[in-house]
Chain A
C-alpha cells in the first residue's frame, strides 16, 4: 500500500507528456554506482495486517489500573472533546499557517492559546509553544545570554534531571557556562556575571519554592540577571500563585491536555515579560487587519527574530511549534475553565497531601519534604523493592525510585497522586505500603 493514485496508463500518459519513456529515466542525474537494487525491507502490509501488527506490539507495553508515577509526565483526566477537536482534519493535515487567508482557523487558535496561557500564568506574552519543557528551558537560558550578553547560568537544584541535562547540552553548544547549586547558596553565587537563574517550582521532588523571595534576592544583588521558572505540571496554577505575580522574567512549563504517550508529543510553554517580547524564540501570532479592507485577522509576526530572516544571528533555529498539541492544551484549559482548573488543582493538593500524611503515620516511612508540595513528594521507604513489586502485583504503576536519576538515593521514592487516583486506589496503595514495611 503506497497511497499512490496513478494506474499504469496514467503514468504512461504523464511520462509521454514529460518526454521520457519510463520512470527510471527521471533519475538520470543520480550516478549509476549510487543506485541501489532494492531495500532490504519486507513487502508492504494491508491496513488490517498493520492494525494487527501494531496492536500486538502495543500490547507488549503494560497498562496499569492506576498510577502513582509522575516525575515529568502526569495522568490527568482529559475531556473527550480534546481528541475530537485535534482530529479535525483541516487542523491536523495543515502545514504551518504561512498563507494566512486560508489558515485563519489555526491562526486564531494559536492567538487564543497565547492569550489563554498568558491569562493562566499572568505573564505578559506567550509564544505559540516550544517542543517540550526541557528544550524550552534550554532556550530560555540561551535567551538570558542574548538579553544580558553574559555567559553564565545558575541552575537551582531540584530542576528535573532531564531538564538540567538538556540545558547543559544547549549551553555547551554556545559555550555558556552552567553551574548547579542548592537554593541556599544563591546569595553567594549571585554576581553581575550571571545571565540567568533557573529554578523549578514545584520542583522535581515536589517542593513549592517561594519564587517571589528568589526574585527579590536577584533584584537586590544584580542588575540584569533574569529569573526563569520551570514547571512540570501547570495544573497546579489553579490554586498556586502564578509566575506573573512573582516577578518572573521567563516562565516555561510542559503542556496540558495530552496523554503521556511514552513522553511525547507534548509541548513547552514559554511566556515572558513584555520587554523581552522581541528577544523570545519561537513562533508568534498577532492580530492585524486587511490591507484593502476593514476585517481583522491573524498573521505570523515579529519574524525578524527568526532563523529564516536573522539566520546565524537568530537566537534559535526553531521554525515550528507543537501546533496540534497546542490546540489540545487550549481546549483542555477552556473545557475545564476557571472552575474546573481550580477543582483539579484542589483535588491534586488534597489527595497528594492526604497520602503524604497517611504515609508519614506508617512506621518506617519518612516524608522528606519540608516545604509545601503539590501532587508529588518524596518518601524514604523501609523496603523499596517490596513496595514496588507489590504495587505491580496489584496492577498499580509504582512511584519512581529516585535511584533512577540519583543512584545514591536508594531508599527513596517520588510519589505522584492526582485527581485520577480514587479513594480505593489510595487506600490500596496505603495498604501495600503498610504490608511492604513489615
Chain B
C-alpha cells in the first residue's frame, strides 16, 4: 500500500480511553428524555483508538510538516516570523483560557482588549480598533461593510471600489460581499498607482473607496501615497489600507497619517501570533474618528466610569461573529507588543527590510527583479529561468534543499511571480543558505532543466497531481 494509514484504521472496537468524569447521578430511562425518533440509531462511525496510538499518529504527522521552527519560511505577504514561546504561555494562563465569554467578572479580558486596541491605534495612527474579526479576510469584510454603512447612512449611492491589479484576490471578493463592483487600475512601471488613472476613475462619482496595500504586493512603498489619499478624499471616497504588509513600516510611519480612513491588520503576520497551519488568526480593524460608530459590536470603550462593553447603538454594521473574536490570539499579540516596546517595533521593521534587500541584492545578478530598487520587507522575482524552468520548479527545488518556497504565482501581474519575504527574525546564516540555494538552482536550470521540472525528490512525497484531485474529488475516507 502506498497510502499512509488514517487514524480511523488504528482503532479497536471497545472502550479503551477513560477521559470523562465518572457518572455520579442515577440515570433514568433515556427514552423518557429523548423520544426514540430523535435518537441516533446507529453507532458513530469513529473507532476507539488508544491514547498512545493517537499521540504517536499526530506527532508523526507533525514531523512531516514544515514550520517556521524548521527553517526559513520566506512566503511573500505572509510575514512568517518567529512565534515567541512566551505568547503560548500567556494565552494559556487559566485566567484567559478558561473564562466564559458571557461571565461578568471579566475585567482582565476587557482591559486587555482595550489596551491592545490602544496600542494598535498608536502604531497605525487610527482612532479606534475592533478586535472582533477572526482573520484578515474577515477584517477586510468588516472594513468594506463600514464603507457601505457610511454611505448608506449619508444617503449617498456609491457602488464601486478601486483596487490596483497587484491586489490580493480577497479584495475583489470582499467588495462583492458588500455589494460593490470593482474598478481595477494597472500599476505603472514602478509598481505604483498611476495618479491620472486614479483621478479619472474617481471622477466617475460612483466610487466609494480605494483598497490599497502599501508597501504593495511587489514590495515597494508607493511614494505618492499622500497624493493618492488626497485624490480619493477630494471626490468623497474613503481610503482602505490592507495591512498585510504593515511589518516593514511599523514604528516608521503610520497609515493613519498617510490619509487612510480604515485599516485591517493581520495579527498572525505582523504581530507574531502563530499561523497554526492556516489559522486561527485575527484581523483587527482600525478606523478614524468619523467611522467609530460603524464598528461591529460588541466594543470596549472608555468612559468616565472606566471601561465598558457596548452593543449596537444603532449605526454599527452589526455583529460579524460571536463573542469577542479570537481572544486567545489577541493575548499573544498583546504579549508581543509589550515585549518589543517602542524601540523593538521599529527595530523589527527595519531589520525585515534589511533582510529582504540583502537577499535581493545577492541574487539580482542572476534573477530578474521586475521592480529593482530599494524594496521594503519583500521583493518580487520573475522566476522565468533558462530552459523553461519556472517558478514552481524553483519552489520545488528549494523544498529539496530543506527550505520552504516563497509565495509563487502571486501577484498576478508577473507571470512567473515569486514573492520573497524573509522577515526580521532570520539570521544571516539562514539568509545566506537561501541565497546560495537560489543561485545553485539557477545554475541547475542552465545545466539540467529536466531534472528540476520533475522535482522535488527528497521530500516525503513527490509533486502531486492537482488536476486529478479536482477532477475526481475525494474529500473524505
Contact = CB atoms under 8 A, between A and B. Distances in A.
B459 interface: yes
Given A90-B70, A132-B321, A312-B175, A34 B257 contact: yes
B15 interface: yes
Nearest to B27: A350
B234 interface: no
Contacts of A400: 102
Given A105-B63, A324-B280, A63 B90 contact: no
Contacts of A368: none
A218 interface: no
Interface stretch (B38-46, B198-206, B285-293, B438-446): B38-46
Interface stretch (A179-187, A295-303, A359-367): A295-303
Interface centre among B26, B62, B473 (most CB of A within 10 A): B62
Interface residues of B, number: 203
B362 to A, nearest CB: 7
B464 A299 contact: yes
Contacts of B66: 90, 94, 99, 102-103
Interface in B208-247: 220-223, 225-226
Contacts of A54: 90, 93, 331, 334-335, 338
A307 B281 CA distance: 18
Contact of A320 (B19, B278, B470): B278
A347 B326 CA distance: 29
A341 B181 CA distance: 47
Contacts of A131: 134-135, 138, 279-280, 321, 326
A19 B357 CA distance: 10
Interface in B308-346: 312, 317-329, 331, 334-335, 337-346
A329 interface: no
Contacts of B473: 277, 284, 286, 301-302
A330 B46 CA distance: 11
A292 B454 contact: yes
Nearest to B170: A317
Contacts of A23: 350-351, 353-354
A221 B68 CA distance: 54
B169 A40 contact: no
B123 interface: yes
Contacts of B135: 131, 318-320
B475 A286 contact: yes
A116 B343 CA distance: 47
Contacts, number: 694
A295 B226 contact: no
A170 to B, nearest CB: 7
Contacts of B334: 54
A93 B20 contact: no
Contacts of B47: 337-338
A19 B99 contact: no
Contact of A349 (B33, B175, B318): B33
Interface in A68-112: 69, 71-73, 75, 77, 79, 81, 83-85, 87-106, 108-109, 111-112
Nearest to B405: A99
Contact of A346 (B30, B65, B317): B30
B365 interface: no
B21 A422 contact: yes
Interface stretch (A161-169, A191-199, A378-386): A161-169
B299 interface: no
A60 B182 contact: no
A135 interface: yes
Interface in A167-217: 168-170, 172-175, 208, 210, 212
Interface in A38-52: 38-45, 47, 50-51
A62 to B, nearest CB: 4
Contact of A265 (B2, B140, B280, B424): B280
Contact of B62 (A90, A126, A284): A90
Interface string B75-108: 1001011111010111111111111111101111
A298 B425 CA distance: 31
Given A60-B111, A322-B280, A34 B475 contact: no
Interface in B398-414: 399, 404-405, 407, 410
A409 interface: no
Interface string A331-370: 1011111111111101101110110000000000000000
13 contacts: A14-B355, A39-B346, A95-B275, A114-B475, A115-B8, A116-B8, A263-B327, A286-B473, A291-B465, A296-B3, A338-B43, A349-B33, A423-B24
